Amino acid sequence: MSNIVVIAEVRGGQLKRTSLEAVTAGLQLAQKSGGKVIAVACGAGLDAAAAELAKSGVHKVVAVDGPTFANYSGDAYARAIAEQVKAAAATAVLMVHTAMGKDLLPRVSALLEGSVVTDVVEVSCDGGTFGARKPVFAGKATMTVNAKKAPFCATLRPNNFAAAEGSGSAEVSKTAPPAGDLLSVVKEVIASSGGRTPLQEAKVVVSGGRGLKEAAHFKLVEDLVAAFGPGVAAVGASRAVVDAGWRPHREQVGQTGKVVSPPLYIAIGISGAIQHLAGMRTARTIVAINKDADAPIFKVADYGIVGDAFEIVPALTKAIAEIVAGK
Amino acid sequence: MDIVVCIKRVPATDTTIKIAADGKSIEPAGVSFELNAYDEFALEQALRIKEQLGSGTVTVVTIGSKDAQKELRDTLARGADKAVLLTTDQWVFDGASTAAALAAWIKSVPCNLVLCGRQAVDSDNNQLPANLAARLGFACVTEVAKLELADGTFTAERDIEGAREVVTCKTPAVISCQKGLNEPRYANLKGIMAAKKKPLEEAAASLPAPALEIVSLTLPPARAAGKILGTGVDAVPALIAALRDEAKVL
Ligand SMILES: Cc1cc2nc3c(=O)[nH]c(=O)nc-3n(C[C@H](O)[C@H](O)[C@H](O)COP(=O)(O)OP(=O)(O)OC[C@H]3O[C@@H](n4cnc5c(N)ncnc54)[C@H](O)[C@@H]3O)c2cc1C
Ligand SMILES: Nc1ncnc2c1ncn2[C@@H]1O[C@H](COP(=O)(O)O)[C@@H](O)[C@H]1O
């Protein structure tokens, strides 16, 4: 019997929706390993988040809750979670590949002398051996690995697992953060997206490229994003337009930007350079709008329209807005 | 401050990847290698900290093949004081064993700051710096896009989903560097000449038993041939229908 720990991410008391994707992956693994799934959350004031987790289908929730954990501290959270992994006798630990996940899980694995694979798109458990599949070389190849050391720790690329929608009522146990100094302390969290949906969590990413000709024309992209309704879509950009100063780097999709994997990715006036593809080729459905029928983006796009973005995008925005309004 | 900069030699980002006959590694023929781009930010930051303090050492280390001498020489030419090559014939993709070997080496040298890139663009792990820090018991901030050092305290900024985190820590620390942190300098002729006289030490890496084993390396499944739905505005209804009825994303 092999238990699975899922680390849930809570920021400002709010459970990150993507954590429920890790719950799904955990439940999948537990079915194969014959173990239970224990969700562990760190923070301060975790009651609401823990209650939500308790419903997700996990077997148990552990909330490491206390004022010293109000802000993220990689070293302190890692120590607390490592303790919980030991207490749960878990042989696998999952978390989403977010800014927190990629900072935290490698530390947990190191404290426990385990194995760690990051940014995975698939996890497996075969005859007691855990494994994972992940893109490497900027998505130009896929690597499949097996764990040789326990616990097997993996961060999951967002949007690759459906969010768990259980109706369970798992036991919640609350414990205080372990004593000890915090080596690093988050002093401040400055919102940078003005309440907009973070790129990696968006269900739809609409990216614009140099084909839009100038910064002001990104209004076309923003209008299309808005047409999907609040909290659904986000603006992305190619490096060419970030380098030109039209958009901030945090919106850049690609090898030297963000990797996104949304259900729908719309590329507007983007040629589809290999470094851009690295950031979006695992999107479920890709749409390309480009006036050049030979643009490489059409090789990865599921659907393409050849033509002038300045004509096509407003028509698309109108059609999407009508559908969304009709829902 | 004694600074260690961790670097990796990786395939250039525009290289075409071919899978070798063993089905577990890449075909090295025809691949051009370079210093991992994020490690350039780490080296630059190390040189700037040394300049700011007016004292200290910058030592560059890598675990890799003998060929990495070339990238190490380049870091010496840009201003590092010393380079160390911990050799192995294996492709180092396993963050846990790499971090264990680097941690053991770092403990054997004077070091109060380790600077890394955020990610090596071969295995695309983004895990070594945090893994290393936990093994060393050092403070750690990853994916840092802005860094200041005043009165012995680092103030680092990093992007998280929808926000920017401001994190403080003291030495000893591990910091991983994101694009935007600085503009790396390149080697000039004087630097290249000086580098010839700087120490480049070599020793066999003592990597522990791997924590991961590669089952296979494959090319990504080709995306099914896409459909060009038409030209211009007239194709919009076909796109809406495809997204709603076929892809079911609306
Ligand atoms: C080390 C390295 C890292 C990189 N990292 C990234 C990265 O992370 N992300 C990234 O995106 N790039 C990255 N790049 C850059 C990449 O190689 C390309 O240069 C970049 O993606 C091109 O951006 P673009 O598609 O917007 O511009 P272009 O390649 O100039 O393409 C513009 C497209 O717009 C089309 N177009 C023009 N007018 C219209 C119109 N009216 N309507 C419709 N279409 C139109 C054109 O046909 C063309 O296909 C990297 C490069 C290197 C070397
Ligand atoms: N083999 C290695 N030798 C030295 N440093 C490394 C090695 N692999 C990774 N690093 C460092 O760790 C950073 C993150 O790498 P990774 O976690 O592998 O994506 C890199 O940018 C380097 O600074």
pLDDT (tens digit, 0 to 9) for every residue of chain A, 327 residues total?
699 999 999 998 999 999 999 999 999 999 999 999 999 999 999 999 999 999 999 999 999 999 999 999 999 999 999 999 999 999 999 999 999 999 999 999 999 999 999 999 999 999 999 999 999 999 999 999 999 999 999 999 999 999 999 889 999 999 999 998 899 989 999 987 677 888 988 999 999 999 999 999 999 999 999 999 999 999 999 999 999 999 999 999 999 899 999 999 999 999 999 999 999 999 999 999 999 999 999 999 999 999 999 999 999 999 999 999 987
Q: Which CATH architecture has domain A199-325?
A: 3-Layer(aba) Sandwich (3.40)
Which ligand has an atom closest to residue B205 CA? Answer: 2
Q: Kindly state whether A174 is in contact with chain B, defined as any CB-CB distance less than 8 angstroms.
A: no
Predicted confidence at residue A6, as pLDDT, reads 98
Where do you find CATH 3.40.50.620 in chain A?
2-175
Three-state DSSP class for residue A136: strand
Predicted confidence at residue A1, as pLDDT, reads 66
Where do you find CATH 3.40.50.1220 in chain A?
199-325
Three-state DSSP class for residue A244: coil
Query: Tens digit of pLDDT for each residue in B78-130?
Result: 999 999 999 999 999 999 999 999 999 999 999 999 999 999 999 999 999 99
CATH number of B2-219: 3.40.50.620
Q: Kindly state whether A105 is in contact with chain B, defined as any CB-CB distance less than 8 angstroms.
A: yes
Query: Tens digit of pLDDT for each residue in A16-29?
Result: 999 999 999 999 99
Report the residue of B132, B161, B179 to disrupt the A interface, i.e. the one with the largest count of A CBs within 10 Å.
B161
Helix count (H) and strand count (E) of chain B?
6, 13
Domain boundaries, chain B: 2-219, 222-250
Chain B contacts of A189, Cβ < 8 Å?
160, 163-166
Q: Kindly state whether B211 is in contact with chain A, defined as any CB-CB distance less than 8 angstroms.
A: yes
Instruction: Indicate the residue type of B219.
Output: L
| Distance (Å) from CA B116 to ligand 2 centroid | 7
Instruction: Indicate the residue type of A19.
Output: S
Smallest CA–CA distance, residue B180 to chain A, in Å, is: 8
Report the residue of B14, B38, B127, B168 to disrupt the A interface, i.e. the one with the largest count of A CBs within 10 Å.
B127
Question: Is A74:A104 a contact under the CB 8 Å cutoff?
Answer: yes
Between A201 and B50, name the one with better pLDDT: B50
- Residue B86 CA to residue B202 CA, distance in Å, equals 6
Banded pLDDT at B247 (limits 50, 70, 90): very high
For chain B, give the mean pLDDT: 96
Banded pLDDT at B26 (limits 50, 70, 90): very high
- Residue A176 CA to residue A76 CA, distance in Å, equals 12
- Angle made by CA atoms B146, A177, A73, in degrees to the nearest 5: 5
Across A135-149, A217-231, B185-199, B220-234, least confident range: B220-234
C-beta of B120 in contact with ligand 2 (< 6 A): yes
Residue A167 backbone dihedrals phi, psi, to 5 degrees: -130, 35
Smallest CA–CA distance, residue B123 to chain A, in Å, is: 5
pLDDT over threshold 70, residue B65:
yes
Q: Kindly state whether A76 is in contact with chain B, defined as any CB-CB distance less than 8 angstroms.
A: no
Report the residue of B146, B239, B248 to disrupt the A interface, i.e. the one with the largest count of A CBs within 10 Å.
B239
Nearest CA in chain B to A148: B211
Q: Do B16 and A145 lie within an 8 Å CB cutoff?
A: no
Smallest CA–CA distance, residue B229 to chain A, in Å, is: 6
DSSP structure class, residue B244? I
C-beta of B47 in contact with ligand 2 (< 6 A): no
- Residue B1 CA to residue A147 CA, distance in Å, equals 38
- Enter the pTM of the model: 0.93
Instruction: Indicate the residue type of A176.
Output: A
Nearest CA in chain A to B165: A189
C-beta of A269 in contact with ligand 1 (< 6 A): yes
Of B129, B163, B226, the CB nearest to A301: B226
Question: Is A91:A130 a contact under the CB 8 Å cutoff?
Answer: yes
- Residue A285 CA to residue B106 CA, distance in Å, equals 46
Chain A contacts of B242, Cβ < 8 Å?
302-303
Q: Kindly state whether B31 is in contact with chain A, defined as any CB-CB distance less than 8 angstroms.
A: no
Predicted confidence at residue B226, as pLDDT, reads 84
Banded pLDDT at B223 (limits 50, 70, 90): confident
Indicate the burial class of B162 (C-beta count within 10 angstroms; 0-12, 13-18, 19 or more). Answer: buried
CB within 8 Å of chain B, chain A residues 205-224: none
Closest by CA position to A256, among listed A271, A269, A274, A270: A274
Specify the CATH class of A2-175 in words: alpha beta
Other Cβ atoms within 10 Å of B93 Cβ, number: 21
C-beta of B207 in contact with ligand 2 (< 6 A): no
